[in-house]
Amino acid sequence: MKQLVRHLPFIALLALLSACSAISQYQWQQKYGQAETTRYDVPATPKKGDVYYHDVQPILEARCAVCHGCYDAPCQLKLTAWEGIARGANPNQVYGDRLKAVPPTRLFEDAMLASQWRERGFHAVLNENNGISNIDGSVLAQMLKLKQQNPLPKTAVLSNDFDFSLGREQQCTTIENFAKFAHKNPLWGMPFGLQGLSSNETEFMLKWISQGAPREAEPPLSPILTQQIAQWEQWLNRDSLKSQLSSRYIYEHLFLAHLYFGDDKTFFKIVRSRTPPGKSVDLIATARPYDDPGVERVYYRLTPVKETILNKTHMPYRLDTARMQQWQRWFIDAPYTVSKLPSYTLDVATNPFIAFEQLPIDSRYRFMLEEAQFTVMGFIKGPVCRGNMALNVINDRFWVFFRDPDTMNEREVGQFLIQNSSAMALPDQLGNSAPILADWSMFADAQLKYLKARVQYIQQRPQRKKVQAEQLIWDGDGHNPNAALTIFRNYDNATVEQGLLGDAPPQTAWVIDYPLLERFHYLLVAGFDVFGNIGHQLKTRLYMDFLRIEGEQNFLSTLPDPAHIALQNQWYRGAPKNTQEYLSASALPLEDFVLTVPASLAPEQAYEQMLQRFKQRISADFKNQFALSYLANPKLVDALTQLQQVKGVSLQWLPQDVVIKVLPKQGKPIWLTLLNDSAYKNVAQLFFDQKRRLPAEDKLTLVNGFIGAYPNAFWVVNEAQLPQLTQAVAQLNSEADYTALMDQFGVRRTSDEFWAFSDEVHQVMKAKLGINYGLFDYNRLENR
pLDDT value at residue 577: 83
651 and 695 Cβ atoms separated by less than 8 Å = yes
Split into its structural domains, the chain has a count of: 5
Q: Pairing between strand 494-498 and 299-304?
A: unpaired
What are the Cα distances from residue 572, in Å, to 321, 396, 441, 462, 608?
Answer: 47, 15, 22, 34, 19
412 lies in the same domain as 549: yes
229 lies in the same domain as 369: no
pLDDT value at residue 619: 73
447 lies in the same domain as 527: yes
pLDDT value at residue 282: 98
pLDDT value at residue 611: 96
Question: Which amino acid is located at 505 in the chain?
Answer: P
Q: From 341, 375, 401, give the residue that closes a domain.
A: 341
pTM above threshold 0.85? yes
Domain assignment of residue 125, yes or no: yes
587 lies in the same domain as 711: no
682 lies in the same domain as 704: yes
User: Distance between CA 209 and CA 204 in Å, rounded?
Assistant: 9
pLDDT value at residue 224: 96
660 lies in the same domain as 578: no
327 lies in the same domain as 370: no
Which residues are CB-contacts of 319 (< 8 A; sequence separation ≥ 6)? Answer: 228, 232, 259, 260, 261
Q: From 585, 618, 651, give the residue that closes a domain.
A: 618
pLDDT value at residue 8: 53
- Burial degree of 644 (CB within 10 A; 0-12, 13-18, 19+): buried
421 and 347 Cβ atoms separated by less than 8 Å = no
Helix axes 722-730, 735-745, angle to 10 degrees: 170
Question: Which amino acid is located at 156 in the chain?
Answer: A
Question: Which amino acid is located at 278 in the chain?
Answer: G
269 lies in the same domain as 164: no
* Average per-residue pLDDT for the chain: 91
Domain assignment of residue 262, yes or no: yes
How many other CB atoms sit within 10 Å of the CB of residue 259?
21
User: Distance between CA 101 and CA 103 in Å, rounded?
Assistant: 7
Phi/psi of residue 302, nearest 5 degrees: -110, 125
Helix axes 440-460, 410-419, angle to 10 degrees: 150
Q: Pairing between strand 699-704 and 670-677?
A: antiparallel
Domain assignment of residue 537, yes or no: yes
pLDDT value at residue 10: 46
Q: Enumerate residue ranges in the chain where pLDDT < 50.
A: 1-5, 7, 10, 13-14, 16-17, 19, 385
Which residues are CB-contacts of 375 (< 8 A; sequence separation ≥ 6)? Answer: 253, 368, 369, 517, 521
496 lies in the same domain as 562: yes
Domain assignment of residue 53, yes or no: no
Domain assignment of residue 59, yes or no: no
Name the H helices within 121-220.
139-149, 178-184, 199-210
Domain assignment of residue 540, yes or no: yes
614 lies in the same domain as 636: no
Domain assignment of residue 196, yes or no: yes
665 lies in the same domain as 555: no
511 lies in the same domain as 424: yes
What are the Cα distances from residue 196, in Å, to 160, 285, 336, 594?
Answer: 19, 38, 61, 63
How many other CB atoms sit within 10 Å of the CB of residue 94?
18
Q: Quote the domain boundaries for residue 394.
A: 359-618
Domain assignment of residue 186, yes or no: yes
Count helices and strands (H / E) in the chain. Answer: 27, 14
Q: From 210, 244, 269, give the residue that closes a domain.
A: 210
